[in-house]
Amino acid sequence: MKKIYSTILVTLALIIILASCTKKNTNSFTFAFYNVENLFDTIDDLNISDEGYLPNSKVAWNTERYNLKLNNMSKVMKSIDPAGFPALFGICEVENISVVEDLINHPNLAGAGYKAIHKDSPDERGIDVALLYNPEIFKPVGTRFIVPEFPDNPELKTRDILYFKGVVNKNDTLHVFINHWVSRWGGQKETEPHRIQIAKVIKNITDSILNNELNANIIIAGDLNDNPSDTSIYKVLEALEISDIPGGKSLYNLSLKQFKNGFGSLYYKSWDMFDQIIVSTSLITGKNGLKVSSTEQVVFKEDWMLYQPKGGPVRPSRTASGSNYYGGYSDHLPIMVSIIN
């Protein structure tokens, strides 16, 4: 009997040891990004062009519709990862810090414990980027809001680039850039130089980081308003498809292969992959403590987030367009990647 009892104790001890080792080796967190499509409050701000989202606007943006928007956005953000809330969540097209706080305090997201990083940008539409982070996992080391300048059009005002440097679980450093590049409004070719200029700005900064630390962990994410194969991203930023032997100071685009295979994050005349996650070499190889669990980003897409117009293909169910109010989620789909540490 004593022998059997001892065998049981040894077996239980081995199970506990193996479980703890497995837990240590599979410790991970999720990074996500979502263009939440015009998250405006109902208050008129005289400093920005928010006329399209006011109670007297064509879409009659009232408290009921604002609350539905918060419910829709938080539902998506809560559902994106079945393992739990993403530890880092970049968002864009938010009007101000108040709407960001309303979002993270919504019952769907209250359990995430998010803190928010945001600053009003000079964008004429009044839409900004923001970063939500779990303070139990990330400790901010520094934050910088980079204002793009355009020599060929000094009057152009657009969204800041949010640069966040933080420490993961008191150990590994991560550099994060949250983006919402100049849109194609006015024509793709006509506006392309502006996106190329922003790509140059980011490239200069990331090159500087990698020159100081070859194995720096860098994430560049956002709505870039260009596809992964376009000049601004592929040739200027040099965000490449992942090779068999990644190395050096390269940047790799976790969306490029998907885009080549016909997948996207928004639909206009066809599927585009404007929402992208780009990482440095070390996040592919794991040389500096952090490693992406997959070399392809996840585009989160559920049936309840989609809409199929009569005679047309399925696409993201959006909130509004022009004077038409639909009450959907967003014209973009969110993206994410799991990171092992």
Q: What is the pLDDT of residues 128-163, one digit of tens each?
A: 999 999 999 999 999 999 999 999 999 999 999 999
Buried b / exposed e over 301-318, threshold 16 CB at 10 Å, is eeeebeeeeeeeeebbbb
Say if residue 104's pLDDT is above 50: yes
**pLDDT of 186 higher than 50:** yes
pLDDT digits (tens, 9 = 90+) for 52-70: 999 999 999 999 999 999 9
Alpha carbon 173 to chain centroid, angstroms: 18
> What is the percent of the chain with per-residue pLDDT over 70, rounded to a whole number?
92
Domain spanning 29-340 has what CATH number?
3.60.10.10
DSSP symbols for 188-243: HHHHHHHHHHHHHHHHHHHHHHHHH-TT--EEEEEE-SS-TTSIIIIIIS-EEPPP
Cα distance between residue 159 and residue 146, in whole Å: 9
Q: Does the pLDDT value for residue 21 go beyond 50?
A: no
pLDDT at 243: 77
C-beta of residue 219 within 8 angstroms of C-beta of residue 278? yes
Whether residue 47 is predicted with pLDDT greater than 50 in this model: the reply is yes
The yes-or-no verdict on residue 14 having pLDDT over 90 is no
Binned at pLDDT 50, 70 and 90, residue 19 comes out as: very low
| pLDDT band, residue 3 (cuts 50/70/90) | low
What average pLDDT does the structure give for the chain? Answer: 92
CA distance 247 to 40: 42
Q: What is the CA radius of gyration of the chain?
A: 22
pLDDT at 23 over 50: no
User: What confidence tier does 22 reach under pLDDT thresholds 50, 70, 90?
Assistant: very low
- Is residue 199 over pLDDT 60? yes
Rounded to whole angstroms, the Cα distance separating 118 from 315 reads 30
- Whole-model pTM: value is 0.92
Q: How many CB atoms lie within 10 A of CB 187?
A: 8
**Distant-in-sequence, close-in-space partners of 101: CB < 8 Å, separation ≥ 6:** 116
Residues facing 183 on adjacent strands? none
Q: Is the pLDDT of residue 16 over 50?
A: no
Lowest-confidence region among 18-22, 45-49, 232-236, 267-271:
18-22
Residue 244: what pLDDT? 75
3-state class (DSSP) for residue 250: coil
More confident residue, 19 or 100: 100
Q: Is the pLDDT of residue 301 over 80?
A: yes
